[in-house]
A and B are shown apart, each in its own frame.
Chain A
Amino acid sequence: MKKLLSILSVACLTLFPSCNDWLDVTPQGQIEAEDLYTTTKGCNSVVGGIYYTMSGSALYGQTLSYGLMDVLAQYWDLSTIPDHNYYNATQYDYTDQNVIGTFNNVWSNMYQAITQCNAFIYYSEPYKENIANYDLLLGEVYGLRALAHMELFEIFGPVIHTTADLQKPAIAYRTNYNNVSQGFDTGEVVLQKAADDLNRALELLADDPIRDPEVGRQGDLNNSVLDYQDVLNYRGARMNYFCALGLMARLEMLRQDKTAAYKYATRVMEETEDIISLIDKENIMNNNASSVYNFSTEMLGAFYVNNLYDMTDTYFGMGGGYSSQDKGAINIDNNRYEALGTFIYNRTPDNGADIRYTYWFIGNTEHGNMDFMKVKQATERPGMTEPYAYYPEIPIMRLSEIYYIACETQIGVDNTLALQYLNDVRTTRDLTPLENVSDDETLLEYLVREARKDFIGDGRMFLMYKRLFYPIYTVAGRTVQPNDNIFVLPIPDDEYEFAGIEKTTQN
């Protein structure tokens, strides 16, 4: 009997510790987080998942680029189609279900991307030694987390009239992977945390291959299956060193520190030299075969949107399925094309030479409307020399924005220098340099006009109006006076309810 008992107890003691391991089942048909992160391939897929989420149509794939954000920036006149899904958005009616629904999606999708960033930081830590290019991946994740929060702050946060407004609660800056709701941070805290994340990203991305002029935006273009590293390829379509640096400039503008912003802007110009530069207009004008209509050579950072052309085809009624009845489509018919000319591109002193107007909108003989070439896939042509030229990318930040930042920070400081930055961009667009613009207000007006021409399809313009608290000039020639109610998009009701945050009117 004693023998039996001792056998049993020995068996129990030896088996018990291994029980816990045995109870840890690895699923076969689904991917368990703990398992996915153990390999380089898995970590790349997870980071790919963040890009996937952010490049979805709910975010940069549509809404935050050529979609609703551009509608709010009044690029399109929808007054002739009052039953269009976004008609109420042009009236800034934020009680409209389409607008609310779309922006609720922006909020929740952006936070899903953030949670995926936090999950990456949380889960990948133990395996970092085994993951190839872990610094690059982690740097990208920090950069993406900063970008996502900055975008949320810009859309849903209060208007920053003065630095005092930075003390208002804005959004929650989430840095932990858990299930605990968090209150809203003030704008100052949000931006400081974003700055911390970006600095962290800059450190981790110090050896970003994009900084090598031999590599640049396109990455290593390695197409070998065996040692293919996603993270080393197409650096321009990922969160990279230059993009993080550029975002620092944008961030300093948001917190109204123009000196710092200027410093970052000039740093970007210096460091990107020979790697990323403003476009070569000849490329567009003389060589249609390899024209980079989306000006991708100017992109500091971009998202790769595989289905961009399908979506834009539908959105702008460019594809075969064009229907004037479609409540979701904005067809660039002659009226709209004319309006773009009259109210955006050809305003005095400019007179139609702008290559953006000329080459971004090209008539399509099939349906008689304009194709929006900036977002439309160029037809395949033989002899395409720059393979990355036609990648369906949505920019996060363009080099031109850096010039505009540099310009804006110099207004009232050194208006000549400011004008020079503006003219730098204008020349590449085949416009004559502006002269004799010396007063701050006029300079700012020209700056805003120029940005407006550039940012169409990028979704940046509305946020620029918001930051400047600037009147919105519509393509019907009207002016919408700036107003907090226009610029602050509604945060989802669920956020207040389930995070237990008191809903206050933000003014």
Chain B
Amino acid sequence: MRKRKIILLLLIGWMVPFLAFAQADSKRVTLRLQNATVKVFFDALHEQTGMNFVYNNEQTKELPPITINVKDATVKDVLNQVLGRTSVGYSIDNNTVTLHQGENRRGGVKTVKGKVVDTNGDPLPGVNISIEGTSRGCTTNFNGEYTLSVPEQCRLVVSFIGMETQTVAYNGEPTMDITLAEDSRQIDEVVVTGYFTRKTEGFAGAVTTIKKEDLQKVHTGNIFTTLSALDAGFKITENNLAGSNPNALPDFTIRGRGSFQEGSSAPLFILDGFETTAQKVYDMDVNRIESITILKDASATILYGSRAANGVVVIETVKPKPGQLRVTYDFKPTVAIADLTDYDLMNASEKLEYERLAGLYDPVEGDLQTTYNRQQKYYNKYKNVLEGVDTDWLAQPVTNSFSQTHSLLVEGGAENVIYSIDGYFDKNKGVMKKSGRDRYGLGFTLQYRIKDKIIIRNYASYSNTHSYDSPYGSYSTYASANPYERPWDANGQLVPTLTDGSPNPLYEAALPNRSFSDTEYFADELSADWIIGNGWRVIGQFRIEKGNTSSDYYRSPFSSEFLTASDDPNDPEATIYTPVDLAERGELTLGDGEYLNYSGKLTVNYNKQVDKHMFFFGGGAEINQNESSSHSFTATGFADDRYSDPAFAIQFMEDSRPGSSESTVRSIGMLANFNYIYDDRYFLDLSGRYDGSSQFGADRRWAPFWSVGGGWNVHEEHFWSTNSVLDLFKIRASYGVTGNQEFSAYQAKTMYQYQTGRLYNQLIPATLMGYGNPDLKWQNQYSTNIGFDLGLWKNRLSLTFNYYWKRTEGMLTTITVAPSLGFPSNSFTANLGEISNRGWELNLGASILRDPANDLEWRVNVQASQNRNKLTKINNQLRGLNDQNNQEKEIPGAVYEEGESLSAIKAVPSLGIDPATGQEIYVKKDGTLTYEWDAADKVLCGDTEPDVYGNISTNLYWKGWNLNAIFQYSVGGDVYNSTLSSRVEGVNPATNADRRVLNDRWTTPGQHALYRNIRDYGQTYISTRFVQRDNYLDFTSLSLSYDFPKKWIQPYKISTLRLSFYANDLFHLSTVKQERGLDYPFARSFVFGLNFSI
């Protein structure tokens, strides 16, 4: 934070003209006047000193005629002599003497000197200081110092961009130092790129900045969900399987997918200047975040070169402030409740009826035994139904979970040494029983500085994450369990098997099965900031991080996993379960890993202003090494599930080998940024980066990236200066090329592997693993961004619009080759193919009510985005993959075709269900109708990418009360409704399913039904019937908070106190009726928040 600010100051320092501090005292005058007019007097002074005198006739009317006789007197003496006993005061500012009506009756004019610093004690250059009620003032120099002639008693207004404006009373003291506090509301005046902090005025990039106070308005318990709620451009791919599982990291993209197949589209995360993983961001304490900046276009991300293509999320943490010991504590208890509203399952009698209709109990002609068996089964179940058995399986694995987060910050320190200690503890329990994620961390900051010379800071931290999965397993097990089954016997004990002999999932859940993983790491960041002077500044940073991971997966020997199902020889329709070999019952997989990352960075800044030309130059270099390794093994055969240590295992899992992986990635980057602003109106931004990485092929080790951007601050034009309506109107454009190197460490190398399974004679043979492509390189992304920012009526109305076009070239692609090339699996990786993403983003904010007198503001924000994705070039050698995906019968796979979207859905056109037969009628490519499904008939019939998506938020503030609501919406996207295809049709009648199975399926000839013959429970093939338009509205977040007024709490030595309440995911309205949260249910959460500092 401090570093950022200093860079900012450097920048802005150059923007104001450096003022020559002329010494008015040193000018000597010799005057002899008798009864002269004021004008004559001042003209004479002007002639001798060259100083200017500003006064008006009103002021001087009162003055008597002037008689004076001095020799080699200072101007001040002369003025004091003449004006001393009048009501007119004066002030000298450089070369100008201004007369004014006098507060200085008692003391006249004083010169005050001093220094303006920020809360860290760092000097602030370029700060405006003016005398209240006048237009006179000055600006601080590079060292934050100022000198100003002032009336002996007056008030000074000290203002600076990004800082809270302060008014201080001056009572005649010779020096006065002023400390300015940061104004968080003003923070968006600068852009934090992670390398340099740049003033928004001269920045051409497309960015979104999220401030601490925005984050306080939303608390979902998941930083990514919060980010997505605050900026629709940060798009989370909804994971219908993982639901609200606290251990599932969501997938997210910024401005669409820029790679395909295994290529990653996740943005780069930068925490305090260093690359970090999404996982670490997920696990960090939200209270530590000062700001999050999402960099979107090439001009903003360019300095990250080969890592920049998917966008960059820059996170800055809170830096300690000097002063008295200050303790801030934040407590957030959370209650989460599973949201099962999307499940509509049959009850016991409905389920049995469905089974009957599906023909499970039909008599078999000529086979009395089977007929008898079937009837017996039916009546057994019917008996249960009559007895009132209607087990609510869905409710069994879920619970109302209680989570809590504590966060503590202690800070303090004096002039040279500042310290802070931060700690947090977060116990995040999931709605599935016994699942959750516990995190805790501790950090210590120590900062030392020699004023105006050097600042050294060290941040050491430790953090630990313990994540554990529910022993209940996949939620889908419970959604398909039959409600007429009893999981407990008459004594309330869990039964191991259900009536049909299948394992009871609740019994399974009660076994001491476990699955958890731990991650801990220790990190230390050291930075040194050297202010050289004359606009130069050097910053060096070094970070080292050492981490350990471990995982433990245990399955009890009594688990149903170790049963094999086979047909019952007495009843072919029944299944019997027999246990596997003793030595294979029970399973324990232990894994451990460690990593060591270090990075170093050196940047140099230079600022220069010449008249209206302002230059900024920043250059730097960085170096990174990430090493990681992990090992694992699996043991089987446990006698007693209480003893699960590997010491009790009988053997290693049959045919298994110890797992091991290792990766070392090194990279070097050199970067430069040049910025030129003319008269605050026009600006130009040029950047370049040269990246070297060990991941690139041997022949493509170094990669150049560059960007150019420019803009026009229309509001700074002179023709607007009289118009107070327009606060901001900036038009900007950028173009650049960045890269994406998201691939495995050794992909570009030719690798061999030892074949230990079979020796050649006594020789351990080594065979080629694949062709290492020496030409393998980063994916290049050419991106263009055009946009404008508009602010009207003191930002009561603000509008930001961006249009972008991105073209990703040389995508990493697995290329199938002729088998005669002799590569294992007949393929190698190369750069091939092109993707384009086009889209726009709109952010409209309006203050509908703004009444500062009553401390009231109501603001509404609407964000809308669209992204269109297209494969513009593809190699026909991807055909193998396409064929494979195209053959997919149940869930549409991605089919990569030139000119089509990556998220297109292809399905076989369907005319619905034939009322005569209950079979589905498909339309073939040639237009003929058939009952036969053929993958070759698939047509493009939808796209999961919506026409418009975004969010709507509203915020009402009144006297410390803050009410905030955020809705997310999406219009025009398509979805393949897997509930219909697998839980209404294609469902095995042995399992429970959606109620539509019973109500909407075809049963009798002539019936017009939505879904096919109830007796047909074969696989459902991909058909256009299941492609549905998914328009939805989510009530993502609702929060209410109250900040207690200072005067109430100060008597108790509390400086701030805030109480808050959050409710998340209150509803999900959708045009598609689909089961959500298949493996793990979605949840609604309610959070109470307490935050205070003393």
Contact = CB atoms under 8 A, between A and B. Distances in A.
A53 B750 CA distance: 18
A50 B752 CA distance: 12
A171 B822 CA distance: 13
Contacts of A52: 755, 758, 760, 765, 767
B665 A24 contact: no
A226 interface: no
B23 interface: no
B769 A498 contact: no
A233 interface: yes
Contact of A25 (B664, B668, B821): B664
A30 B768 CA distance: 11
Contact of B820 (A34, A234, A499): A499
Contact of A304 (B667, B749, B750, B760): B760
B753 interface: yes
Contact of B753 (A30, A119, A123): A30
Interface string B736-769: 0000000001100111111100111111111111
A4 B820 contact: no
Nearest to A111: B822
Interface stretch (A15-23, A189-197, A257-265, A330-338): A15-23
Contact of A172 (B532, B746, B820, B879): B820
Contacts of B666: 22-23, 25
Contacts of B828: 179
A291 B1017 CA distance: 63
B81 interface: no
A31 B752 contact: yes
Nearest to B661: A29
A498 B877 contact: yes
Contacts of B824: 112
B758 A494 contact: no
Given A27-B662, A33-B772, A230 B752 contact: no
Contacts of B752: 30-33, 36, 45-46, 49
Interface residues of B, number: 59
Nearest to A223: B762
Contacts of A32: 746, 749-752
A115 interface: yes
B816 interface: yes
Contacts of B668: 19, 22-23
B1077 interface: no
A167 interface: no
Nearest to A500: B818
Interface string B831-865: 00000000000000000000000000000000000
B1093 interface: no
Nearest to B631: A29
B750 A33 contact: yes
Contacts of B755: 49, 52
B817 interface: yes
Interface in B521-569: 532, 534, 536, 538
Interface string A484-505: 0000000010110111000000
A116 B767 contact: yes
Nearest to B773: A179
A322 B892 CA distance: 44
B810 to A, nearest CB: 16
A447 B822 CA distance: 37
A182 interface: yes
Contact of A45 (B660, B698, B745, B765): B765
B771 interface: yes
B619 to A, nearest CB: 9
A181 B817 contact: yes
Contacts of A45: 752, 754, 763-766
Contact of B823 (A112, A171, A182): A112
B536 A31 contact: no
A45 B754 CA distance: 8
A108 B819 contact: yes
Nearest to A152: B820
A65 interface: no
A181 B818 contact: yes
A447 to B, nearest CB: 34
B766 A48 contact: yes
A109 to B, nearest CB: 9
B816 A33 contact: no
Interface string B763-793: 1111111011100000000000000000000
A119 B750 contact: yes
A304 B822 CA distance: 22
The prevalent SS among residues of A at the interface is: helix
A150 to B, nearest CB: 15
Given A19-B668, A115-B823, A42 B694 contact: no
A437 B683 CA distance: 102
A33 B751 contact: yes
A368 B994 CA distance: 59
Contact of A31 (B694, B766, B820, B821): B766
B822 to A, nearest CB: 3
A39 B693 CA distance: 27
A49 B824 CA distance: 13
A27 B760 contact: no
Contacts of A115: 768, 821-823
Interface string A108-133: 10011111101100010000000000
Interface string A148-164: 00000000000000000
Contacts of A108: 819, 822, 826
A112 B746 contact: no
Nearest to B665: A25
Contacts of B759: 306
Nearest to B533: A1
Given A27-B745, A306-B760, A174 B822 contact: yes
A4 B822 contact: no
Nearest to A115: B822
B74 interface: no
Given A4-B532, A179-B771, A48 B701 contact: no
B819 A107 contact: yes
A51 B760 contact: yes
Contacts of B762: 230, 233
Interface string A394-427: 0000000000000000000000000000000000
Contacts of A182: 820
Contacts of B765: 45, 48-52
B246 interface: no
B887 interface: no
A72 B772 CA distance: 38
A269 B874 CA distance: 58
A309 B604 CA distance: 71
B629 interface: yes
B692 interface: yes
Interface string B227-268: 000000000000000000000000000000000000000000
Nearest to A55: B760
B766 A46 contact: yes
A28 interface: yes
Given A29-B661, A304-B761, A494 B818 contact: yes
Interface of A: 1, 4, 8, 12, 19-20, 22-25, 27-34, 36, 42, 44-46, 48-53, 55-56, 104, 107-108, 111-116, 118-119, 123, 171-172, 174, 179, 181-182, 230, 233-234, 237, 304, 306-307, 492, 494-495, 497-499
26 contacts: A12-B621, A23-B667, A23-B692, A25-B745, A27-B662, A27-B664, A33-B751, A34-B749, A45-B752, A46-B752, A48-B760, A49-B766, A51-B763, A107-B819, A111-B819, A114-B822, A171-B820, A174-B820, A179-B771, A179-B821, A181-B818, A495-B818, A495-B820, A497-B879, A498-B817, A499-B818
Given A27-B664, A36-B752, 9 more contacts: A32-B752, A33-B772, A48-B763, A51-B763, A52-B760, A111-B819, A111-B821, A179-B828, A230-B762
Name the 10 nearest CB pairs between A and B, nearest first: A115-B822, A29-B662, A499-B818, A52-B765, A48-B765, A111-B822, A108-B819, A45-B766, A33-B750, A48-B763
